[in-house]
Amino acid sequence: MTFPYKLVATDLDGTLLRGDDTVSERTREALAAATAAGAAHIIVTGRAVPWTRHILDDLGYEGLAVCGQGAQVYHAGEHKLLTSLTLDRQLAGLALSKIEAEVGPLHLAASRDGLEGEVLVGPGYQVQEGPLPYLFVDDATEMWTAPLNKVYIQHPELDDDALAFAARAAVGSLVDVVMAGAGVVEILPLGLSKATGLSLAARRLGVKAADTIAFGDMPNDIPMFGWAQHGVAMANAHDDLKAVAHEITASNEDDGIAVVLEELLRSAPVQPVRQDEPVR
């Protein structure tokens, strides 16, 4: 059997993971079948490594993962950080001041760099319920005392899309701003995206954009869809991602990844047996 892609890139939250942070058995089996047919699977997530590692371990995932919106390439089997890009804290501070000059005070959180980097949460920032660890700080200046890979921003009145739009307009070319999920608007190093991280990981595997099918659900997946040969949006995806997707599948709760992979596996041509090979 010849699978049409050499690389399957999947976002994590809202895509590979269901709402209870698990991966269905059907999706696990479809990914296993795709890899058995010759494709590599790479998880490409906005989560930094400390928030991703336990999921990879639970999956028995030993390959490369792209974390932190592309900032980190992580070898899950070796528990090793291969590449890591940090946010210039001076530029980030300037960007925040420009955003606040336009929309008023922001609530902040920040993700520290490294395998054990904590996520620091400042006053007023609303964290999502769940098992992910946070470190609450009373003084937001504590966030700036160590290297960061991103800063999270929230506004007391603006919704995510409006905040991201206003922030991009305010910061110009200082940094990048991305909306990665409900309540998750992030400030990133300029030029960083899931596409840049995925391209680094793919190069290590010897595969190209033309060999890649990608799955996602949020606007931060748009660059990845632009890089990959084929972009598949989940039914639960943000409208901005659906607008640029090549295909829309079922939701993350309804095994959308498996639906597509199973069809590709069914339609994959069977390699002919060479005349000098015994039939098995």
Q: How far is CA 144 from CA 71, 88, 90, 128, 203, in A?
A: 18, 10, 9, 22, 33
Q: Which of 51-55, 94-98, 206-210, 233-237 comes out lowest in average pLDDT?
A: 51-55
pLDDT bracket for residue 271 (50, 70, 90): low
Q: Which residue has the tokens 């997530």?
A: 45
pLDDT bracket for residue 1 (50, 70, 90): low
What is the longest distance spanned by two Cα atoms in the chain? 74
User: Which pLDDT tens digit goes with each residue over 223-270?
Assistant: 999 999 999 999 999 999 999 999 999 999 999 999 999 999 998 765
Q: Which of 6, 7, 10 is nearest to 217 (CA)?
A: 10
Domains and CATH numbers, the chain: 5-82+191-265 (3.40.50.1000), 87-186 (3.30.1240.10)
pTM here is: 0.91
In this prediction, residue 273 carries a pLDDT of: 44
pLDDT bracket for residue 194 (50, 70, 90): very high
Question: Mean pLDDT score of the chain, rounded to an integer?
Answer: 93
Q: Which of 10-14, 115-119, 169-173, 267-271 comes out lowest in average pLDDT?
A: 267-271
Q: What is the dihedral of CA 128, 129, 135, 140, to 10 degrees?
A: 30
What's the CA gap between 73 and 52, in Å, rounded? 12
Amino acid at 233: A
